[in-house]
Every structure is written in structure tokens, then in C-alpha cells.
């Protein structure tokens, strides 16, 4: 998508775009993952894509001699900003306002959606073009606009594939990662014509051909749209500048051509000074697309006469972020710059796919972000902290050094044992999530046994004596082990007994 | 030199041969081995599953059991990482929750004295060639906690490469997790088995006859999967290879 020629395309009357299907009944992670593991095509697509990008990332990162220092600096800037978030957000509001923009504060998804819908309605328009944005997906903005009779067109190539395919994104950076070329060709052939310029009938699955079809389809949308909706990768408090990094240039079209620009941005995206961008403009592209620099970096500060949109609105989104900030261990998740390096190295993500995480934030970061932003009451959110082997690969690649395994264990504790948390600004004590009673009892029994070596030893001997009676299939939770694996054979004598016997026969 | 063996609960009950191999190996290298009988489980399964309070008594027990020992050696990277990385964390949280600083102090005193077996051999004893003989083709799976938690680096491979008769072949995707992950194996059995199957497939593809690791829990999972196939590959703990000699091959 590098073509810059802007001809005047034909403009057929287009019906409303399909909203991404809502999923009220989300299965728990293990349940959803079971389906994905059995889907050979999906696993092959994911494996190919994640391995390609993880190898490229490793090479791009290895080029910088000061990567560790950049990582530490990114972490420090983010931690500092989060500690003084109230101050920097007010400074940002002042700077945006002074530059001719308008700042709106949204406590949750509903409020943010209402603000954006009202802003679009005030323009009299019935359609908007969208720059790829995680924040607007998080709040379900497209669905909210759809309900208000406003069509939202995704313009990022991968988001377009997902939207046209009535699908859900499965990766932060590569939302259509689960689709291969042939599948994309089929989606373009059948769907494009229903929403705008159709794909050529002869469309093949060559990436160049696919990109060209998308380019022509999108071009008429760019030229017609009067309103654009975006997110932002960064917001600079001292200048009020918004920053969007992208690879295709489609975002820049949306950010510069329409008359009204509405940006919905999570409050954690602020950085204090323009100079802080120096760190993230190096670490984000290398961690995400494995590029030394992303092809398009668009920055805008309020509005400017005769150049770009004449109206700019910034919607600052909380939606669980200040609650997360109140948690000492969990707050480090707010450092995330959405690079998705953790997804690409995660062996669990690779097998389970993005949809299993039941959230727009899949993979390791999703497993710690979603249960904090949404709480742990639902089955999916209570299962996410367990969707990891704690192998640590995610922590190793994270460009802002989020100790994801540490937060996972912390959230497991919240799920299994309950404890303090902040919800809607109020300190509460959570009860353990449902379904952990038997596990808790087993853990207590094991602890009692393990804390009494005499009992442990008796248990070991009992196990050794009964070893010939050991079943091949275990009941209850143990069945999950024996369904695909053999049990270890119990030896006739434990180490403890071997040692004691040796001590008796050869006293030292 | 004296060293205490922390055998780990999995090795004690299910893989006593590993503990026996560590004793034989260390004694062969001139180390006097102690086995404090008061030791038990390090508490890793409880802690990693979210039962931090259930872990605290086990932390106290482990710290007490090894109180008088300058060196504590364990044939498990994940148990070593539990003590080194998480015990201090558990101690700090207990203090922050008003249960005193005793646990934090105890954790801080034990953590630096605990060594994973290959660290002890290379860093403390300063040996690479331990005089072992094992005439087989071997591939090595570096478990995640040893690899990333402890930063064992190439220590295990250096030790294996020095074994007489041993042909060490590289495992493709060696740094990827095998899918065990403690209770992950039963909470997410499908993903766990898929990961483990990829691991044993990669290992079988090397032509090796032995898949070697330094964590019996990972090996129990991989061995459990292998035994459902007709693969000639078998799993073996690193300690058993290092303890093997021409006179005393592994059982």
C-alpha cells in the first residue's frame, strides 16, 4: 500500500458496513483454545507468521548496541508518567486546547462511544473512516456507531480484511494473522463489491494484487470521508501532539484529508516531553514490525488553518485504567506500547490463536490487561491468568520490560484466593472466583502433607506399594493429564528411603 | 567441600534415580553430600497457581531445612528459580501485609546459597569434564526456568559436550517451552499437549536416542507424550548422563 496517486474514483452508493459480530457468550480460554488447537490451517498460518516476525525482530533488535538501555529508559519514562498521570493529563488538556483542539474525558466505554457518536452526528455525516486503533476496538465503537446509523470503515489493510470477512481481529498488530492469502482473496472477491468498489473478477492471491484491490477500494473512501476516527500511539503532554505510527499510509490519509478528526486514546498513552519519543520511535517499530523505522509517523497538534482537519477532538479514555493503576504489581501492564512482540514469541498464543483470549488484546499482554481492565468476574477473565506456562519469553522481548509472568501469578492469586482490588475507584476485597473450591482444598491438603515429612514419607511408601494398581486413566482433574500423556511410573523406592538405607549401611 | 542436596519433591517420589545420580556425581568430584531430611516441596506448584498463602509454610520449611548449609544443590532449574526469584518476593509481600520481616530475611539468606546442578558444577567446582561416559546421540531441551529464569546459558551444553562418547545434536526450537508449566498441563491440556508434541517431534527429528533435560517435571510431560508414540526416543535427566561411567552406566 505505497501508491500515492489520487485519481477520482467512481462513487457508488454504499450500504452500511457490517459491524464486527458481538460475542456476548465468550467461552473460557481452555475451551476456546481446544477448538483452535484442532484447526490445522489456523495453526499453520499462526506458526508461519509468528516465527517469521519473531526471527526478524530478533535481528532488528540485535542491530542496536544500546537496546538494554533503551528498554530501561522506556520503562522509566512510562513508570514516571504513570506515577504523575494526573498532572500530565491536565498539562496535555491545556496544550491540546491551546492548539485549537477540544478534549473530552470518558470514564468508560459507554461514555466514550456516546461522545464520539454525538460528535459525528453534529457534523451531519453518516459515515467515518477509521485509522487502526486498539482503543476504539476495546470500547466497541464500530458497533456503537452502527447502532446510531453511522457506518465506520476500517482502512488498515488487515482490519479491512477482518471487517469484510465478518471476522474478529486475532492479533494486535496483524489482526488478520490467522488468515492466509487464499482466504483473503475469497473475502475480497465476495465482500468488497457490497461495500464499495468491487475486487476485480480475476483477483488472484498474489499479495501485490490483493494490496492493489484494497488500495482502489479504500481510495474512494478516503476521498469522500468528512470525518475520521483514530487512536494514537503517543500523546505529548508538553506540546499536545498526537502521534500515530503505521506502515501503510492509510492512516495518514484519514488523519489529513477529512474535515473533522476524532481521536480516542487511552490515558496511559501520554508521555511528558517531545524528546521522550526518541526512545519509543526506536523500540516500537523494531519490536512490532521488525523495522528500523516505521514507514509513516504522523504527528499533529490541534488544528491549523488551511492544512488538515479543521476540527480536532481528543477523547481521553479511562475504562478501567485508573483501577489498574491503583494495583502496585498489576500497574506495569499500563506501560504497554502495543508492539505485540509478546504475542509473536508466545508458544501458547501460537497454538491457541488470538480469538481464544476473548478480547481485543490477545496473547500474554491480553492475559494480564483484560482481567485488570474488565475484572475477573467472567469465566474468560478468570481463565486468562492461567493461559500461560510462565515460560518468560514474553518478558524477555518486552521493550518496556513488563514482567508479564509476575503479573500473571499476581492475578492468579486474585482469582484463586481473592483479595484487594480497585473497581471504579473504590477499594474492594474480591472473593475467590467460582470453581476453585476443589483446587483450593487440594492445595491445602498437599501443603499439609508436604509440610509434614513423616506423613509425606508414609504417603510415598503407600504410593510405591500401590504402584502396580496405578490406573492408566485418572479421574477428575488428572484426566486432563492422562488424556494425552502417560503417567510416570512410580518407582519401588523414593530417594528419601534410598538415602536412609544407605546411611544405615555406610554410617559416616 | 560439603553441599546439601535439595532433591525436589518430583525427583524424590517419581525420579529417585536423578537424586541418586547427583549424589554419585558429586561424591565422585570430591563433594561431601548432605541430605537434610526436613526438606520438602519448594512450593512452586502452589505459588504459580495463585496460592501464595499456602506457599508460605513451605518457604519457611525449606529455609529452615537448609539453614546451616553453605551450598545447596538442586537438579531442577525451576525449583532453583523458585527459591532465588520468588522466595524474596513472597517474603516482601508477607512483610507488606503486616506479617513481619522474618520470611523476607529468611528468603534473602537462602536465595544466594542455592545452585542449580550445572551452575554448581561449572561455577563453584569449576569443572566442565566430569569424567562421564555415555556413548549415545543426545539432544538437550533447556527448560524455561533454567534458560530465562536462572540464565544457565550454555553451561548444560558445555557439560554434555565434554562427556566421553556422547554425540550432542542441536534441538530445533530448543528455547521454546515444552508446554508443561506446572498446573498449566492440566488447566490447558490441549495447548499443553500440542506444545509438547511439537517438542518431541523436533527432538525425534534430530535422530537422537536420548532427549536430555535438567527438570524432571518437563521430562515427565515429554516422556508421557513419547510413550503414547512408537518413538525410540527416551527422556533422561542431565544428572544421570553426567553420573554415568563405563563401569556404572545409567540404569
pTM above 0.90, yes or no: yes
The domain limits of chain B are 2-124, 137-243
- Supply the pLDDT for residue A11: 37
Which pLDDT band, with edges at 50, 70 and 90, does A438 fall under?
Answer: confident
Q: How close B206 comes to chain A (CA, Å)?
A: 20
- How many CA atoms does the CB half-sphere of B92 hold within 13 Å? 8
- How many CA atoms does the CB half-sphere of A210 hold within 13 Å? 17
> Which of B149, B182, B189 has its CB closest to that of A484?
B189
Q: How close B187 comes to chain A (CA, Å)?
A: 7
Q: How close B166 comes to chain A (CA, Å)?
A: 26
Whether residue A77 has pLDDT greater than 60: yes
- Supply the pLDDT for residue A14: 40
Q: Which residues of B are less than 8 Å from A414 in CB distance?
A: 50
Closest CA to A188 of A174, A206, A200: A200
CA-to-CA distance for B217 and B227, rounded, in angstroms? 15
CA-to-CA distance for A18 and A15, rounded, in angstroms? 9
User: Is residue B201 a contact partner of residue B98, using CB atoms and an 8 Å limit?
Assistant: no
Whether residue A5 has pLDDT greater than 60: no
Overall size of chain B counted in residues = 251
Interface contact B28, partner A, CB < 8 A: no
Q: Which residues of A are less than 8 Å from B14 in CB distance?
A: 488, 490-491
Which residue positions in chain B have pLDDT lower than 70? none
Q: Which residues of A are less than 8 Å from B190 in CB distance?
A: 30, 33-34, 37-38
CA-to-CA distance for B211 and B138, rounded, in angstroms? 6
Q: What ipTM was predicted for this assembly?
A: 0.96
Residues of B numbered 168-197 whose beta carbons fall under 8 angstroms of chain A's beta carbons: which are they?
A: 175-177, 179-196
Judged by CB atoms closer than 8 Å, whether chains meet at B148 and A393 is answered as: yes
Q: Where are the alpha helices (DSSP H) in A308-392?
A: 321-325, 341-345, 347-352, 363-373, 379-383
- Supply the pLDDT for residue A508: 62
- Exposed/middle/buried for residue B184 (C-beta within 10 Å: 0-12, 13-18, 19+): buried
Angle made by CA atoms A405, A373, A20, in degrees to the nearest 5: 110
Range A291-306 average pLDDT:
96
Q: Which residues of B are less than 8 Å from A456 in CB distance?
A: 40
User: Is residue B130 a contact partner of residue B29, using CB atoms and an 8 Å limit?
Assistant: yes
Residue of higher predicted confidence among B137 and A475: B137
Judged by CB atoms closer than 8 Å, whether chains meet at A485 and B193 is answered as: yes
**Looking at the DSSP assignment, which residues form a beta bridge with residue A128?**
A152
Percent of chain A with pLDDT over 90: 79
Kind and range of the H or E element at A130?
strand A127-130
User: Is residue B184 a contact partner of residue A389, using CB atoms and an 8 Å limit?
Assistant: yes
Q: Which residues of B are less than 8 Å from A415 in CB distance?
A: 50
CA-to-CA distance for A266 and A285, rounded, in angstroms? 20
Q: Is the dihedral of CA B210, B215, B216, B221 positive or negative?
A: negative
Amino acid at each position: 500500500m505505497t501508491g500515492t496517486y489520487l485519481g477520482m474514483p467512481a462513487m457508488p452508493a454504499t450500504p452500511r458496513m457490517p459491524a464486527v459480530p458481538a460475542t456476548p457468550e465468550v467461552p473460557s480460554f481452555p475451551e476456546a483454545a481446544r477448538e483452535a488447537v484442532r484447526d490445522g490451517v489456523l495453526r499453520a498460518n499462526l506458526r508461519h507468521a509468528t516465527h517469521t516476525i519473531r526471527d526478524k525482530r530478533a535481528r532488528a533488535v540485535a542491530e542496536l548496541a544500546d537496546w538494554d538501555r533503551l528498554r530501561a529508559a522506556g520503562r522509566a519514562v512510562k513508570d514516571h508518567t504513570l506515577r504523575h498521570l494526573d498532572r500530565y493529563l491536565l498539562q496535555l488538556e491545556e496544550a491540546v486546547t491551546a492548539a485549537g483542539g477540544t478534549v473530552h474525558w470518558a470514564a468508560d466505554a459507554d461514555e466514550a462511544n456516546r461522545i464520539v457518536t454525538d460528535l459525528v452526528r453534529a457534523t451531519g455525516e453518516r459515515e467515518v473512516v477509521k485509522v487502526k486503533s486498539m482503543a476504539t476496538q476495546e470500547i466497541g465503537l464500530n458497533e456503537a456507531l452502527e447502532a446510531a446509523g453511522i457506518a465506520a470503515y476500517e482502512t488498515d489493510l488487515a482490519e479491512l480484511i477482518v471487517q469484510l470477512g465478518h471476522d474478529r481481529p486475532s492479533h494486535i498488530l496483524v489482526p488478520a494473522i490467522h488468515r492466509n492469502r487464499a482466504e483473503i482473496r475469497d473475502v475480497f472477491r465476495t465482500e468488497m463489491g457490497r461495500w464499495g468498489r468491487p475486487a476485480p473478477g480475476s483477483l488472484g492471491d498474489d499479495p501485490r494484487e490483493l494490496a492493489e484491490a484494497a488500495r482502489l477500494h479504500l481510495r474512494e473512501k478516503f476521498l469522500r470521508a468528512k470525518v475520521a476516527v483514530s487512536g494514537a500511539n503517543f500523546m505529548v503532554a508538553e506540546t499536545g501532539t498526537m502521534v500515530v505510527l503505521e506502515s501503510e499510509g492509510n492512516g495518514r490519509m484519514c488523519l489529513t484529508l477529512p474535515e473533522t478528526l476524532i481521536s480516542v486514546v487511552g490515558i496511559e498513552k501520554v508521555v511528558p516531553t517531545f524528546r521522550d519519543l526518541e526512545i519509543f520511535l526506536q523500540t516500537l517499530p523494531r519490536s512490532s514490525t521488525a523495522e528500523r523505522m516505521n514507514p509513516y509517523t504522523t504527528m499533529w497538534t490541534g488544528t491549523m488553518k488551511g492544512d488538515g482537519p479543521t476540527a480536532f477532538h481528543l477523547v481521553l479514555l479511562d475504562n478501567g485504567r485508573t483501577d489498574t493503576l491503583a494495583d502496585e504489581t498489576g500497574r506495569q501492564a499500563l506501560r504497554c506500547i502495543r508492539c505485540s512482540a509478546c504475542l509473536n514469541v508466545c508458544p501458547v498464543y501460537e497454538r491457541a490463536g488470538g480469538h481464544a483470549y476473548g478480547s481485543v488484546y490477545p496473547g500474554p499482554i491480553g492475559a494480564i490487561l483484560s482481567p485488570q481492565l474488565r475484572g475477573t468476574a467472567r469465566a474468560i477473565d478468570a481463565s486468562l491468568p492461567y493461559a500461560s506456562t510462565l515460560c518468560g519469553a514474553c518478558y524477555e522481548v518486552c521493550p518496556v520490560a513488563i514482567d508479564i509472568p509476575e503479573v500473571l501469578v499476581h492475578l492468579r492469586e486474585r482469582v484463586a484466593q481473592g483479595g484487594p482490588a480497585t473497581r471504579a475507584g473504590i477499594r474492594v476485597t474480591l472473593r475467590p472466583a467460582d470453581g476453585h473450591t476443589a483446587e483450593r482444598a487440594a492445595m491445602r491438603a498437599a501443603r499439609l502433607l508436604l509440610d509434614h515429612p513423616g506423613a509425606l514419607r508414609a504417603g510415598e511408601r503407600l504410593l510405591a506399594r500401590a504402584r502396580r494398581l496405578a490406573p492408566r486413566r485418572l479421574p477428575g482433574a488428572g484426566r486432563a493429564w492422562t488424556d494425552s500423556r502417560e503417567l510416570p511410573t512410580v518407582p519401588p523406592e523414593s530417594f528419601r528411603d534410598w538415602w536412609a538405607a544407605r546411611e544405615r549401611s555406610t554410617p559416616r | 567441600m560439603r553441599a546439601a542436596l535439595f532433591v525436589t519433591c518430583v525427583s524424590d517420589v517419581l525420579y529417585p534415580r536423578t537424586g541418586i545420580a547427583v549424589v554419585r556425581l558429586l561424591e565422585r568430584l570430591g563433594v561431601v553430600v548432605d541430605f537434610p531430611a526436613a526438606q520438602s516441596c519448594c512450593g512452586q506448584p502452589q505459588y504459580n497457581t495463585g496460592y501464595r498463602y499456602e506457599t508460605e509454610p513451605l518457604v519457611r520449611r525449606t529455609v529452615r531445612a537448609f539453614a546451616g548449609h553453605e551450598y545447596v544443590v538442586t537438579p531442577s532449574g525451576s525449583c532453583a528459580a523458585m527459591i532465588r526469584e520468588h522466595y524474596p518476593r513472597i517474603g516482601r509481600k508477607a512483610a507488606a501485609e503486616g506479617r513481619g520481616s522474618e520470611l523476607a530475611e529468611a528468603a534473602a539468606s537462602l536465595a544466594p546459597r542455592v545452585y542449580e546442578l550445572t551452575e554448581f558444577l561449572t561455577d563453584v567446582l569449576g569443572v566442565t569434564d566430569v569424567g562421564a561416559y555415555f556413548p549415545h546421540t543426545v539432544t538437550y531441551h533447556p527448560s524455561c526456568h533454567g534458560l530465562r529464569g536462572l540464565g544457565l546459558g550454555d553451561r548444560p551444553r558445555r557439560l554434555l559436550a565434554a562427556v566421553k562418547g556422547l554425540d550432542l545434536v542441536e534441538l530445533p526450537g530448543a528455547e521454546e517451552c515444552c508446554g508443561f508449566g506446572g498446573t498449566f498441563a492440566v488447566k490447558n491440556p490441549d495447548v499443553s499437549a500440542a506444545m509438547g508434541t511439537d517438542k518431541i517431534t523436533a527432538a525425534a527429528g534430530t535422530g537422537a536416542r536420548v532427549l536430555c533435560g535438567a527438570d524432571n517435571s518437563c521430562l515427565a510431560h515429554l516422556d508421557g507424550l513419547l510413550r503414547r508414540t512408537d518413538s525410540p526416543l527416551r527422556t533422561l535427566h542431565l544428572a544421570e548422563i553426567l553420573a554415568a561411567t563405563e563401569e556404572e552406566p545409567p540404569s
